[in-house]
Amino acid sequence: MNIAVETGGRWQRLKAATSGTHERLDTRIMSAGAFASTENYAKFAQMQHAFHRDIDALYANPKLDALLPDLPGRRRLRQIENDLSDLGVQPLALDELPAFGADADIPTALGWLYVAEGSNLGAAFLIKAAEKLGLSETFGASHLAGAPEGRGLHWRTFTGALDALDLNEGENQRVIEGAEAAFKRVHTLADRVFA
């Protein structure tokens, strides 16, 4: 009998489990030339807005707030709305309801938040590409700005809290499924805006 031994923290196992889906999404966004022009960047911002609209209710969820540090402070929907306004672009017109409402399956929601937090960490590279288009943390690309305490510490406090949660095997699987669903949702949105 083979016994799988888990190594690393939950977030590292989550990263490994979702790496293929994550890489396909990154390839899709970069192949679309998301930072090749201001017009393309505006489409990227619309995609970001639609995703953050999907998860916005999670930042006001008291159960999640008790588990994760500074959850309300991690919310980025307002910054993206400001960026769209700076760019003179409207949000995508979406017929479907956001992915989450007032109630949420907590493990699934943790997977979606992992994707959102990871994108904030990766934005360190994206803000430099946005700056080449004449955008900045104060105009058009505010949602790509780092946290006041720094991106690294911001990420480590999130992943430390995620790793410390007492979840059973089924709940851990739902975290993975939530992250997969979040990456796939963003991929669907990228296909829509860059069609």
What does the block give as tokens for 22? 């994550």
Q: Is 87 inside a domain boundary?
A: yes
Q: Looking at residue 153, which CATH number applies to its domain?
A: 1.20.910.10
Task: Report the pLDDT averaged over residues 124-128.
Answer: 92
Residue 121 has pLDDT above 70, yes or no: yes
Q: Is the pLDDT of residue 36 over 80?
A: yes
**181 found inside a domain:** yes
Q: Dihedral, CA atoms, 76, 181, 103, 67, nearest 10 degrees?
A: -70
Contact between 100 and 51 under an 8 Å Cβ cutoff? The reply is: no
Is residue 171 one of the residues assigned to a domain? yes
Domain that holds residue 42: 10-23+34-193
Q: HEC string of the chain?
A: CCCCCCCCCHHHHHHHHHHHHHHHHHHHHHHCCCCCCHHHHHHHHHHHHHHHHHHHHHHHCHHHHHHCCCCHHHCCHHHHHHHHHHHCCCCCCCCCCCCCCCCCCHHHHHHHHHHHHHHHHHHHHHHHHHHCCCCECCEECHHHCCCCCCHHHHHHHHHHHHHHCCCCHHHHHHHHHHHHHHHHHHHHHHHHHCC
pLDDT of residue 68: 96
Task: Write down the pLDDT at residue 2.
Answer: 29
Q: Per-residue pLDDT tens for 99-114?
A: 999 899 999 999 999 9
Residue 119 resides in a domain = yes
Residues 41, 134, 84, 92: what is their CA dihedral angle, to the nearest 10 degrees? -10
In a domain, 128, yes or no: yes
Q: Is 42 part of any domain?
A: yes
Mean pLDDT of the chain: 93
pLDDT digits (tens, 9 = 90+) for 47-102: 999 999 999 999 999 999 999 999 999 999 999 999 999 999 999 999 889 999 98
Flag whether 72 is in a domain.
yes
Q: How many domains does the chain have?
A: 1
